[in-house]
Amino acid sequence: MKKKTTKLFSAALVLAMSASVLTGCGKGASGSGAASVSADDISFPLENKVTITGTISYPSGTESEPNNRTIFKRLEEETNVHVDWTAISNDQWGDKIKLNMANKNTLTDFVFNAGFSNSDLIRYADQGVILPVEEYIDNNMPNLKAVFDKYPEYRTMCEDSEGHIWALPWIEQLGSNKTAIQTVGNNFTYINKKWLDFLGLQTPTTVDEFEEVLKAFKEHASELQAEFGIEGDIIPMSCIMNDQDPSLLINGFGEGYGDNDIGQHIAVTDDKKVICTATQEGFKSGMQWLHKLYEEGLIDPECFTQDWSTYVAKGKSHRYGVCFTWDVANIDNLEDFVPLAALKADVKNVTPMNSSFTSGFDRGRCVVTSKCENPAFVCAWLDKMYDPFQSPQNNWGTYGEDDEFDIFELSTNANGDKMLKHAPLGDASPVEVREAECVGGPLAILDEYYGVYVTCPDDAQYRLDWIKEYYTDDMNCKYVYPNVFMTADDTEALTTIQTDLISYINSSRSNFVMNGLTDAEWDEYLKQVNAYGLDEYLSIYQKYLDEFYK
């Protein structure tokens, strides 16, 4: 990988395109209207240029004009379709996209990186703001239809209770079932092997051994600073509570459910019963144990308030003994850290993330709006994103960039056909490198693409290897909660409960770690959780689990 410069980031401070210069489907300034273009037997590139309109998010600190990105430049050349974009920085996306969707004057033909939740899709469908696309998938999107034909579960996961598909999905297969890359989320645990070796310590396998290791890191802080030239205090363990946090560490307490799914706080028992992980006795014991570590000064006191940039900055100063994240290369480096396998307390277990057995999936990635006058044509263009050679580029980045680094090298597979070969990441952060080039949006990358259209990313491969080596054998449960599309009424009921319930549980988690948890406080906590509607909450989830397994 060629080294990245700061020039990219300084250039990225250009203001986003104004939505006011955009008009309806095919009415842009640079090209003819799309309304009269027939989508029947369409062949790209078009004879005459056509303009459509789209809304897209981009990572803050990167290129803000989508058409300056190599991927979209190539797509325009290959299709002769120009897109007038409304571009919104991802740190402003949540608020601005709601305003745009509420105002027909700011709607574009499609929203490329929508990331809409089930409730968003249902609400916009009821309001007539977005269009169902199942007809266009069958008639105008051969690439996506081929994916659905081979993996019909993805089509089922996209359909509402009436069989409508309101959005185009993002699908990323990297492993499957208990080896899928998503089975362990941002709570992947990493321990500083360099520090362990220097202090003559073994990698801990139990919660008691883990505590002793953290104490050793603290007690020998000055020696670690001197040996490795560390500026700043040694931090035995750091995290971002309720995000990149130590939830995986408490999987061994009680019956071993832990509390990995901090967005829903549910798990599925082996007899197919949905439970709340944050009301189990094991959760209580785990929180009490984490408080003990906190009281002993072994957990970063800023873990409740620090943001990602602060978390990374301290990590890049090599101050962490243990940290939690998707990929430790984003926090520190791969050479010094190794994954930490599940710790035994009462049991030894890893609860996989819900929905992970079907690999990466986002139901609400891209929507076509009611503003679009020719949805069949727009869907035909969007189907290009599902081309097996195009999807990996949209997801990770591309080749032949004008700057000083590339995600891919253009290579060939065993049959001599063109294939995208991942370039080495070097010492660059995988997240930052990819954000600079990729465009996201609707796409599908299947396991069978690797070695044919694209190589598996190095960082994905070592993570897949780690999951299989460190975690899969300890995934003792039979089920995870599947990705289901609920009705409008159930989604509304669930959302109403979740608003207060999840906020209360997450704030309580932080409070328990910081201030401790007595039996009386636990009883009061359970009463409050139940008062927020836990029974109804679980019954809704249970209903769809039962239907899923019928």
| Tens-digit pLDDT profile for residues 497-541 | 999 999 999 999 999 999 999 999 999 999 999 999 999 999 999
Q: Name the band, by pLDDT with cuts 50, 70 and 90, for residue 38.
A: confident
Residues forming beta bridges with residue 168, ordered by sequence position:
366
As a three-state string, the secondary structure of 199-210 is CCCCCCCEHHHH
CB atoms within 10 A of CB 530: 14
Q: What is the DSSP string of 463-479?
A: HHHHIIIIIGGG---S-
Fold agreement (7-174+360-411+438-449, 189-351+486-548)? yes
Residues forming beta bridges with residue 88, ordered by sequence position:
57
Domain residue spans of the chain: 7-174+360-411+438-449, 189-351+486-548
- pLDDT of 375 above 80: yes
| DSSP label of 454 | B
Chain-centre distance of CA 90, in angstroms?
14
How is residue 70 written in tokens?
């190599």
CA distance linking residue 437 with residue 406, whole number of Å: 8
Which secondary structure element, helix H or strand E, spans residue 411, and what is its range?
strand 408-412
Q: Which residue has the tokens 């008062």?
A: 531
Looking at CATH, the fold of the domain delimited by 7-174+360-411+438-449 is given as D-Maltodextrin-Binding Protein; domain 2 (3.40.190)
Lowest mean pLDDT among 18-32, 247-261, 278-292: 18-32
User: Which residue in 328, 342, 346 sits closest to 253, CA to CA?
Assistant: 346
The correct CATH number of 189-351+486-548 out of 3.40.50.920, 2.40.40.20, 3.40.190.10, 3.90.1570.30 is: 3.40.190.10
Q: Could you tell me the pTM of the whole model?
A: 0.78
| Tens-digit pLDDT profile for residues 345-368 | 999 999 999 988 877 899 999 999
pLDDT attached to residue 32: 61
Chain-centre distance of CA 222, in angstroms?
38
List of E strands, 208-353: 235-237, 266-268, 274-276, 320-324, 337-339
Task: At 25, give phi and psi (nearest 5°).
Answer: -55, 120
Q: Name the band, by pLDDT with cuts 50, 70 and 90, for residue 432.
A: confident
Chain-centre distance of CA 536, in angstroms?
28
Q: What is the DSSP string of 303-355?
A: GGT--HHHHHHHHHTT-EEEEE-S-GGGTS-TTTEEE-PPPBSSS----PPTT
Which runs of consecutive H residues, i.e. helices, occur in 237-280?
Answer: none
